Amino acid sequence: MNSTYLPSAIKQFEYYKMLGEKAIAQLPDEALFWQYNEESNSISLIVNHIAGNMLSRFTDFLTTDGEKPWRNRDAEFDDRFTSRAEIMEHWNKGWECLLTTLRNLSNEQLEAVVYIRNDGHTVMEAINRQLAHYPYHIGQMVYIAKMVANDKWQSLSIPKNKSGDYNSRKFHQEKSRRHFTDDL
């Protein structure tokens, strides 16, 4: 089995966790609750959903269905937080559950079958499913934060008109096997 998959997946998840946290850090507390309209989600609601999903999917990951009977997905889109501290506590609880579970998996378990709403997935497929799901929502968080911060926004990746500088730095490094997040 592929011995680089789990460390790579963990690095990817950690990268998106960092992006979400850097976006949140650029906003005043009240902006975490801002919604474009009634049908839109605030960063607070998105955090609640992501963390709720993580807790459901990765609690007893190998032995129980990923959609836990105690999860109330619809309630994840109702305001429940009143402060940045509450938002970040829930955010960290979800990430801790996910990352602890992944760090405790072995390569031999990647082909085991787990269920989400009775649909069977290999462990690798279930991880890939969430590796698409969470960045989708974190991208929404970054977009909201960028709109709210407006001209105070500080880029989380390569700033506009700085691709040449970034490429120059990267191409002046020796070729080696590394994860793209290693030198962020």
Is 60 exceeded by the pLDDT of residue 138? Answer: yes
- Report, as an integer, the average pLDDT of 106-124: 98
H/E stretch holding 32 reads none
- Structural domain of 69: 5-158
Kindly state whether residue 176 falls inside one of the protein's structural domains: no
Kindly state whether residue 91 falls inside one of the protein's structural domains: yes
43-58 vs 84-103: helix crossing angle, rounded to 10: 30
Is 80 exceeded by the pLDDT of residue 126? Answer: yes
Distance CA 172, CA 119 (A): 47
Residue identified by tokens 């269905």 is 65
- Provide the pLDDT for residue 2: 63
Of 34-43, 116-125, 129-138, 154-163, the least confident: 154-163
Kindly state whether residue 179 falls inside one of the protein's structural domains: no
- Contact in structure between 1 and 110 (CB atoms under 8 Å): yes
Kindly state whether residue 128 falls inside one of the protein's structural domains: yes
Kindly state whether residue 168 falls inside one of the protein's structural domains: no
- Provide the pLDDT for residue 51: 98
Per-residue pLDDT tens over the stretch 146-179? 999 999 999 998 888 999 998 998 899 899 888 8
Say how many CA atoms lie within 13 Å of 127 toward its Cβ: 25
Per-residue pLDDT tens over the stretch 52-110? 999 999 999 999 999 999 999 999 999 899 999 999 999 999 999 999 999 999 999 99
- What's the total number of domains in the chain? 1
The first and second tokens of residue 120, run together, are 């069977």
Task: State pTM to two decimals.
Answer: 0.94
Residue 64 is part of a domain; what is its CATH number?
A: 1.20.120.450
Kindly state whether residue 102 falls inside one of the protein's structural domains: yes
